Structure 1
């Protein structure tokens, strides 16, 4: 008589579908990450200037748009429009935590010189030792 073989239950988990899902998620995050870190839309003046050293910490960017809206971008996030005094206090708090981080002012080319200088004075009062000005390269 024919004897039937008893099958033992398989206790292994098939992980191939999980790996496929993880690879798809990895690709999605790699594509969307540069889009998330977009900055404030500012039309910078063009000038020949040396870029920041590649080994320096990411700068704290203080932006003034053509509509005189003020923003802070600390490399990881962008805060919404704020008053200049609030902005200066926020940058002062960043500098207290990391005093070696550079601070850069990104002013639209249509913004008055007075607005940029006033912002730099507010930053100086909050303890920012030096402030750099951002420009676009001449060739672009």
Structure 2
């Protein structure tokens, strides 16, 4: 009977099922999604021209013992630093950053507000806010007036 073993009468060994997952199709799908997101991401960051509505808001509750730091920008783009009731002379943007940094190093919980003239260039206010953040101001509030309802 030893000759019968070679003839293939013995049942064949069963193959084990494959326990591996073929990930090649998933890689293809991920590459397609990556390309789609790379194409659409720059479109999502572009701004849209809008007319912002006027609205009223609740005033910020501030601590009584800490005087806020207010930086004003007039219609000519000149900067004024106000601490409490003291208003100084016009100063440059680097001087604003240095003085606010010195004040915040002594009083880290002081609030910083920006009072910008309605007709000042938007870029002037944005540069001021960027300088205030580099000086250490974590939260910057914008001071506005309530809208007139006399229309």
Taking structure 1 as the reference length, the TM-score comes to 0.62
How many Å separate the matches in 1 of 2:56 and 2:109?
Answer: 25
Cα RMSD of the aligned pairs, angstroms, is 1.7
- Partner Cα separation in structure 2 for residue 70 and residue 109 of structure 1: 14
2:138 to 129, 132, 136: 129
The reply to whether residue 106 of structure 1 matches residue 115 of structure 2 is yes
Which protein has greater RCO, CA pairs closer than 8 Å, 6+ apart?
1
- The correspondence of residues 59-70 of structure 1 with structure 2, limited to 5 A, is 59-70=68-79
**CA distance in 2 between partners of 1:72 and 1:85 (Å):** 12
**Deviation for aligned residue 1:139:** 4.1
Aligned counterpart, 1:93? 102
The aligned length equals 95
What's the counterpart of residue 16 of structure 1? none
Provide the secondary structure at the position in 1 that maps to 2:114: strand
Query: What stretches of structure 1 of length at least 5 have no aligned partner?
Result: 1-45
Give the TM-score of the pair, scaled to structure 2: 0.58
* DSSP 3-state at the match of 1:96: helix
Greater Rg by CA: 2
